[in-house]
Structure 1
Amino acid sequence: MSVALYMHDDGLNHVTPEGHPEQVARLRHIARALSVPAFDALERRTMPQCDDADIGLCHPQTYVDRIKDAVPQTGLARLDEDTWLSPGSMSAARRAVGGAIAAVDAVLDGAVGKAFVATRPPGHHAETAKPMGFCLFGNVAIAARHAMERRGLARVAIVDFDVHHGNGTQDLLWNEDRALFIGSHQSPLWPGSGRATETGAHGNVMNIELPPHSTGTEMRAAYENRVFPALDAFAPELILVSAGFDAHADDPLAQLNWQTDDYVWLTENLCALAARHCGGKLVSILEGGYNLEALADATAAHVGALMAA
């Protein structure tokens, strides 16, 4: 079946200060990389705006209101040392959540086989009532809750291969026995969470700590020995991916040394797991990746592998 690409120009209107790594150019580079003939078969779909009830699947209304009230009329507003708002940020954030939900619905309905949601701001650091790490709302966690609460799924797996621990997704799904959250990340590294001892209220969290300067060899061994067996045992009805590409050797914010072919290998194996357990149903949602060329190359490789599966 086809692979859908979800993008929207509102993602370009979430503006950060000059020199900030989570910048508008990230989406432009991804769009350019996916505009070549090799990706003509992608089913390109727009991203609807979510409403407060969608965000409320994971975040309290008081928090949503706080973010809305903090959006500036002009210029920029700072939420913490890393996380900023501009006049277009709330619209971009609503598209991020709305696109993730729409992608889940399209895959569950059989309209497409798989989907990649190219969006910003990212989401996996946003905790229940705390924005952080460039993130406002928990895009992937909200998508998981949508699948469970509204679509009736009993087992949803989330695999997060961003170089930074998805502390927000872990926080939002800590007490959720219908979800399995698996995150691989460099450790030690900001935000300092993601220890192997953090296992969730129901044994539903698995954290894979990868040492600085390790390569795709160590990553592949960890996934083969721990991640893939855990996913097989869980037998998910849907796989969601937090696709951060900042473990790439060229990324400036961390010290892992993955190469583009490591993302191909990982994507192929996740697609094979989806084929075994849930009819291939997989939705991938963009998180980090801050070297623009490496981000574009790794994203293109990831989407190409989704299409080839």
Structure 2
Amino acid sequence: MIQRRLEDLEKERGSLNFQLPSRQPALSGLLGHLGAVLRRGAQRAGGDDSQAQLRVEAKTVEPTTQDNLRVSVTRRDWLLQEKQQLQKEIEALQARMSVLEAKEQQLRQEIDEQEQLLLWQGCDLSPLLGGLTPRELQEVHDTLRDTLASASRVPLRAEPPEAIRSLQEGIKSLNLSLKEITAKVCMSERLCSTLRKKLNDIEIQMPALLEAKMLAIAGNHFCTAKELTEEIRSLTSEREGLEGLLHKLSVLSSRNVKKLGNVEEDYNRLRRELDHGRTAYETSVKESATKYMEVLEDKLCR
């Protein structure tokens, strides 16, 4: 009965989906090579020659491992440098983009002004002015001069004041921060979910391995019990590492969530200030336009 149970547990253990560190591709190849070297050494006849050959073959593995590690470290350093360089280029492009946007806005304003000038320059007033007497021309000239002088005293602004533009820039910056922090929070949540799933898988596997170990000990299958002990130890170590990483990610996620809340509060506050400023600005423009129209009507009615 115990023998059948051990066989069932062996099959169940073979069907488990988890992978120990020794099953990873990078380490599996190295361990396989070491195993092949040891098997060849064991198959040879005993003696100093076979032992010396085994030591030579085992030593050939160490430089290869060191070379692979050195290549990995070099590759990582190069990738970090590339990332830093790319970040600098992105910042430079963003600064350049801001300058170009400001220049585009200035050019658009100048184009609008030139189009207005072309619109008036296309009007031929010669027939109208030709039918006026010198006295009437003088009156038109005086009226136009007084109208322009009155208009200069009416504060009509062609663009929003500096306070509104400053609020718009602040909102734009906070909007970018919101997107970045939100992306970080989502990424942290996904990583935490993945780690919790792995921890749950380990918690499910541990009781089965412990039961198999106890049965192996009861059946005097000490080799199997030793293997199960190693697997349990590896899983325990992996679980502790995952728990530590999960704790760090949870703390980081909490900080990002708190930071996101603060940025959202600042964003909403600036939005309210901007809405209030726009309302006041629009009211001021309407009042100035109304006053300007009253000045024109007064001049025309004289």
Structure with greater strand percent: 1
Higher RCO, 1 or 2 (CA under 8 Å, sep at least 6)?
A: 2
Q: Which protein has the larger Cα radius of gyration, Structure 1 or Structure 2? A: 2
What TM-score, normalized to structure 2?
0.17
Q: Which has the higher helix share?
A: 2
